[in-house]
Chain A
Amino acid sequence: MVPITTTHYLVVAAALFILGVVGVLTRRNVVIILMSIELILNAVNLNLVAFSRMWGNLHGQVFSIFIVVDAAAEAAVGLGILIAFFRNKETINVDEIDLLKW
């Protein structure tokens, strides 16, 4: 079997990223869109850690921890917005969220 190189990890991360993008662009449910954003952030994290392994230093791992912090903040604020919106409009579908639409 071929040994696992950095490229293998990059391909997995690219697949996760594409799946996340597809989820963001096609789904209607806001909760699932937020989950797809988590998928995208995970793909980026996997890239960072793979490159950190490739170069043999730990800065990539530190950055991926910062991205995890960022994802936590983003999820908290996003879900807070979602709950506030659900209270006003009784919907969680993105194409019904059109208060700002002219």
Chain B
Amino acid sequence: MTPVATPFFFYMLAGAAILSAMLVITRRNAVHSALSLIVTLLSVAGLYLMLYAPFVAGVQIIVYAGGIMVLFLFVIMLVNIERVSKERQFNRIWPVGLVASCALLALFLSAFRKGKDLLPNRVGDLPEASNTQEVAKLLYGEVVKTLQLPSGQYVMGQYTFAFEIASLLLLVAILGAVIMTKKKI
């Protein structure tokens, strides 16, 4: 199956992502930055869809654009003071930061130039239809039905343990955020 107009959508989404990322780091008002960041996140979700990663795209939209950005917007509303948007937006050593970023860009360019031949020019054949199921199998494990156990037996996936550890990380983060924002412990 050949996808329809893939280069057009790629360039559109990539352009939207990069343009709104530029807006994120240049806007004076933090709310405008947050809205531009939402555009970036949605464009990157579109790029995930083009890479046959529908589950990651869904997670990106739900968790990033839905969850994290709401958190950001709430905190902007909580700490937004008029004074901040009126004073200067860049710190005093911004030329140094810019030079360092240009050095990083040069590093990327030279790595790209030197390592272009190392990158295999191939596109793997991902299972397009059962993609989400395969990811879920790696994350959550699956129920395997055997002849001895016709009702099925749960088998852990390759990343199920790491997945549980990630839930522990989220628990610690929730507790940390709540405790830090409390007025008096």
Contacts and interface: CB of A to CB of B under 8 A. Distances in A.
B24 A68 contact: no
A12 B18 contact: yes
B75 A68 contact: no
Contact of A83 (B60, B64, B92, B180): B180
A90 B51 CA distance: 44
Q: Is the interface of A mostly helix, strand, loop or mixed?
A: helix
Nearest to B73: A31
A8 B124 contact: no
A33 to B, nearest CB: 9
Contacts of B139: 62, 65
B21 A61 contact: no
Task: Give the bracket for the number of chain B residues in contact with chain A.
Answer: 35 or more
Interface of B: 6-8, 10, 14, 17-18, 21-22, 24-25, 30, 33-34, 37, 40-41, 44, 47-48, 50-53, 55-56, 59-60, 63-64, 67-68, 71-72, 75-76, 78-79, 81, 84, 87-92, 94, 96-98, 100-101, 104-105, 108, 112, 116, 119-126, 131, 134-135, 138-139, 159, 162, 166, 169-170, 172-174, 176-178, 180-181, 183
27 contacts: A7-B116, A9-B47, A21-B104, A22-B98, A23-B24, A23-B25, A26-B97, A28-B88, A31-B75, A34-B72, A46-B44, A54-B120, A54-B124, A55-B124, A56-B123, A56-B124, A57-B126, A62-B135, A66-B159, A68-B56, A72-B68, A73-B173, A76-B174, A80-B180, A82-B79, A83-B180, A94-B91
